[in-house]
Amino acid sequence: MVPASLLRNGIKDSLSDFCAAISSVQFHFIDNLTRLHGKLEIMVYRCLHE
């Protein structure tokens, strides 16, 4: 299960979208962080999604 936004836009935008859907969560990200390896992005997304 991989969201299309993760494949298309990376972890930053995907987690930002996910957190925006939950009113009690604030999302902050380091601006200059480069894209992570595909499998690592998926693992991080899944961990935070749980």
Mean pLDDT computed over 9-26: 84
- So where are the chain's domains? 4-49
Under 8 Å between Cβ of 44 and 36: yes
pLDDT, tens only, 23-50: 787 778 878 878 888 899 899 888 877 7
Under 8 Å between Cβ of 35 and 41: yes
Mean pLDDT computed over 18-27: 80
Q: What is the pTM of this model?
A: 0.52
Handedness of CA 42, 43, 47, 50 (dihedral sign): positive
